[in-house]
């Protein structure tokens, strides 16, 4: 009871609507399979964002403020819908000032200390590659909410418009036919691995160009188990289709690439519920 009281006080004091959160589970646990996010990388540069537009949360992003790219965005895939591509890109005001409003806002700045802005990408030759993609958005607002620079990383344009686009389409078809049709729930996580170079060395723009893009899905059944899952990873250049591997294999590769002991994408047990028995 005391604990609950303190929690409520804390949420009143913080305005109760910060979308850069100290723990995803404060605001957007339902984005993740069994309420448990993928592994959170630890370090001063990482921020957890419950991506919010018009006061509604659409997906979640782990953001790296040093490299100015996402680590990953996690989302649920509900249905395929043809959305218009909105061309106004947004930024996350709370990354620069925690007192700012919770919603993403149109990007009007020329630079920011903690996040990439559109100007950083200008004339770089790279696409702003979506992590949570327009293609898997299930409403126009949801599609619009993907147009934020905290959901993007510099992507080779041939890769983005070629093999990666084809992969997004295949995943949408696979999940529609084999998961949603059985009234199961499709969880997807898409991320990048930081590379060795910056987007625009000459202009000294501090946005990292990822070496790899990866994505994984889990189709969760009524028993909260991944009925089937898949992982994909490809180099960020114009080459072959991303490798089609198991989630376990992808996790092992990501452990090596991120240099961490363990990297977990989906929780197949009711992790959050069972850890909450004391509440």
Write out the residues near ligand NAG by the rule CB under 6 A: 167, 170-171, 174, 244
Structure-block tokens of residue 120: 């950083």
Q: Residue 62 or 167: which CB sits closer to ligand NAG?
A: 167
For ligand NAG, give the closer residue by CB, 80 or 170. Answer: 170
* CA angle (129, 134, 135) in 5-degree steps: 110
Q: At closest approach, how far in Å is the CB of 136 from ligand NAG?
A: 13
* Beta bridge partner(s), residue 208: 198
**Least distance from C-beta 170 to ligand NAG, angstroms?**
4
Minimum distance, C-beta of residue 174 to ligand NAG, in the bound complex (Å): 6
Provide the total of helices (H) and of strands (E) in the chain, helices listed first.
8, 14
Q: Which is nearer to ligand NAG, 228 or 258 (CB)?
A: 228
Distance separating alpha carbons of residues 132 and 143, to the nearest angstrom = 9
Could you count the other beta carbons within 10 Å of the beta carbon of residue 204? 7
CB 154 within 8 A of CB 127: yes
CA 225, 263, 174, 79 dihedral sign is positive
Cβ proximity to ligand NAG: between 40 and 241 the closer is 241
Enumerate the H helices of the chain as residue ranges: 2-13, 93-96, 118-121, 140-145, 157-161, 163-178, 247-258, 271-274
Token pair in block for residue 262 = 């363990």
Tokens of 9: 């006080």
Residue 231 Cβ, how far from ligand NAG at the closest point, in Å?
10
Output 244 or 256, the one with its CB closest to ligand NAG.
244
Q: Smaller CB distance to ligand NAG: residue 86 or 170? A: 170
Chain-centre distance for alpha carbon 279: 29
As measured in angstroms, the least distance from the Cβ of 167 to ligand NAG is: 6
Rounded Cα gap, residues 44 and 210, in angstroms: 20
| Residue with smaller CB distance to ligand NAG, 24 or 232 | 232
Other C-beta atoms within 10 Å of 213: how many? 25
Minimal distance, residue 190 CB to ligand NAG, in Å: 13
């Amino acid at each position: 009871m005391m604990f609950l009281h303190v929690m409520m006080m804390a949420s009143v004091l913080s305005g109760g609507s910060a979308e850069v959160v100290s723990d995803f589970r404060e605001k957007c646990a339902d984005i993740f399979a069994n309420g448990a996010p993928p592994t959170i990388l630890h370090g001063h540069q990482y921020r957890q964002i419950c991506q919010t537009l018009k006061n509604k949360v659409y997906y979640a992003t782990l953001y790296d403020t040093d490299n100015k790219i996402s680590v990953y965005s996690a989302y649920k895939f509900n249905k395929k819908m043809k959305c218009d591509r909105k061309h106004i890109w947004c930024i996350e005001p709370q990354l620069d000032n925690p007192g700012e409003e919770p919603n993403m806002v149109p990007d009007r700045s020329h630079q920011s200390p903690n996040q990439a802005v559109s100007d950083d990408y200008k004339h770089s030759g790279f696409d702003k590659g979506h992590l949570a993609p327009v293609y898997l958005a299930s409403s126009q607002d949801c599609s619009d909410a993907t147009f934020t620079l905290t959901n993007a990383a510099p992507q080779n344009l041939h890769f983005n418009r070629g093999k990666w686009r084809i992969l997004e389409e295949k995943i949408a078809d696979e999940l529609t036919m084999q998961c949603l049709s059985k009234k199961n729930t499709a969880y997807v996580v898409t991320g990048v691995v930081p590379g060795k170079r910056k987007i625009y060395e000459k202009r000294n723009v501090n946005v990292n160009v990822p070496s790899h893009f990866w994505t994984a899905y889990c189709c969760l059944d009524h028993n909260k188990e991944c009925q089937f899952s898949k992982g994909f990873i490809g180099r960020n250049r114009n080459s072959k289709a991303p490798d089609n591997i198991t989630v376990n294999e992808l996790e092992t590769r990501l452990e090596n690439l991120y240099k961490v002991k363990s990297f977990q994408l989906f929780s197949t047990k009711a992790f959050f519920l069972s850890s909450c028995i004391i509440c």
